[in-house]
Amino acid sequence: MESSKTMIGTVVGESTPQEFRMSITPGQVYVQDLVALDAEIQESGKIKQIRVWAKIEDIERINPLFPREAGQELADLQVNPFDTVISMSREMITASCRILGYEEISGGEKNEPLKKLRYPPQPASSVYKPPKADIQRIIMGNLDDKSKKHRKLDIGWLSTRRDVDLIIDAHPIVARHAAILAMTGAGKSWTAKRIVEQLAEKQYPIVIFDPHGEYSGLSEIEAIKDRVHNYYADIKIFEEEQDDIVRLINGLGRSELTPRMQDIFTDLFRFSSIIIQDQVTCQNMCNLLLSVRPDDQYLQKYGLSPNLFGIAAIGQCICEAIRGDNQSFLSQIDSLGYTGVVALNNRDAETINGIVWRTRRAAGALANMARINRKISMGKESLPTDINTLIKKGSINVIGLAGYSSELRASIYSLVVEKLFQNRIQNLIDLPFLLVLEEAHNFAPGAPTTDADRQALQITRQIAQEGRKFGVGFLMISQRPSRLDETALSQCNTFIIMRLVNPADQQFVKRVIETVGEKETKLLPDLDVGEAIISGQSVQFPVLAQIKSPQATGSRSEEDLIMEVSKYGG
């Protein structure tokens, strides 16, 4: 233990085993600083020298010789108090401190967690600022042990002591879930990227669900760029359940399929799925369709696509064939596998027409989303069919969800994560992995309204409750904690809480997260960008930290739009 101690205060008033107040030397300490005092306790008949650690929760400053009335006069007259006879030198500055615990001084330091103090410190004790090394040691706990050194994550500094690095334990984050909660612009993605980069150095497999393209910059980091895979989300229509496709059309087609439409769609979808997925039959089908609609330029140019456009094209031709009483065409369709198509009448044709329009609209919307998604996420590949290939030692997989509606995001997330989790349970995936859920309220909504939401929530909860057993953890990131599912959030063991001004979010955090008390809640609206209260199992006690900058920048980092316009046109 270093011997240098900077005395900064004296215990005054009443002290308890949980807290004490001290008069402090002006300007020496700040709120959230860690301080210590030496004391003695009796244990098993022996007197032990201990060091009591505490954190400054609040500082009050008062000048008892400065009347309020005078303050008003100075303000009215706009006079500097130093120019008057008012006394400025008799301030009383007191800090209230929460005791974190104690360690034994005698017998050398051990990297043990702090013990709970059961006896109050003595009034008039001197309080000091411990040396940097001791603070580091206390925060890290036993992370310096041989068995745990590899778990260190260097994510920042103590906010009030920039000379003290904040090293936290990675294990609780990856194994027992973590959450980063902050309002927009407070630095949550910055923090998540820092954590991801630190984990990447440890070769830990990571899958990131990225709704806004925040993580596309990971592939620019020299050290890890070969391990970063940017995927765009691709909805393979014919790999989904038909009910899901109906929901998709209902959601994107602007009006829902009626029950009759759904009946006919079932057959249409089944037929299309058989025909389109085989290259030969698909080509033949395309030719057949062109015989009914020779002027269809889309068909001419693109052929029959394995997507909603394809289904719509088939449906349209069938509709026109029925209207035109083209029994030859209909018979061929029937022979290819659409049983009962010849029995469809004109009324059915109109129904099919309705299906076609809705399907086309949905197809258009989906195509737009996919286009935006590819542009933003810079994804070069679509998700692999064998989803297990995502999880490899050192792999960092970024699944871009930008451009998609929240429902689609939830759907894509559910599909991917369910498969990953089930495969992990069945030992088809060898390694543990971390799921990073940016905008986590999309994937763990507090009040799900759609089937997609409910499905996403279900899998998230399952991982929250059981993931630990299988080495599957998640890192939730959200700017609206009050919209998150409480069950999932409460399963997190590490919290990184950044600036939150919404009172509902503050209260939610205070209610759900046990380690956040009244004092911490009061700090939340005033935290700087990049400042965070870190609490939970990754640290010995809640600390106020300044997160270090990640190397990656997002593709959607904010540009100076005013500058852009001013430069436009030269």
Where on the chain is the footprint of other proteins (CB under 8 A)?
Answer: 64-65, 67, 69-70, 73-74, 77, 79-80, 82-90
Tokens 């015989």 correspond to 291
CA 458 to chain centre: 17
Pairing label, strands 6-12, 126-129: antiparallel
> Whose Cβ is closer to other proteins: residue 123's or residue 394's?
123
Helices and strands, counts by H and E, the chain: 17, 18
Q: Shortest Cβ distance from residue 69 to other proteins (Å)?
A: 6
The answer to whether the CB of 169 falls within 8 A of the CB of 538 is yes
> Whose Cβ is closer to other proteins: residue 91's or residue 278's?
91
Q: Shortest Cβ distance from residue 79 to other proteins (Å)?
A: 5
Amino acid at 351: T
The answer to whether the CB of 468 falls within 8 A of the CB of 175 is yes
Q: Shortest Cβ distance from residue 86 to other proteins (Å)?
A: 6
Instruction: Tell me how far apart the alpha carbons of residues 409 and 254 are, in angstroms, rounded to a whole number.
Output: 18
The H-or-E segment that residue 404 falls in is: none
Q: Shortest Cβ distance from residue 62 to other proteins (Å)?
A: 12
The answer to whether the CB of 536 falls within 8 A of the CB of 515 is yes
Kindly report the number of other CB atoms within 10 A of residue 422's CB atom: 14
Q: Shortest Cβ distance from residue 27 to other proteins (Å)?
A: 12
The H-or-E segment that residue 331 falls in is: helix 327-336
Q: Shortest Cβ distance from residue 97 to other proteins (Å)?
A: 23
> Whose Cβ is closer to other proteins: residue 10's or residue 405's?
10
Q: Shortest Cβ distance from residue 80 to other proteins (Å)?
A: 8
Among 440, 516, 523, 527, residue whose Cα is nearest residue 481? 440
**Alpha helices for 100-241 (secondary structure H):** 132-140, 170-176, 188-201
Instruction: Tell me how far apart the alpha carbons of residues 520 and 500 are, in angstroms, rounded to a whole number.
Output: 11
> Whose Cβ is closer to other proteins: residue 77's or residue 562's?
77
Instruction: Tell me how far apart the alpha carbons of residues 293 and 226 are, in angstroms, rounded to a whole number.
Output: 48
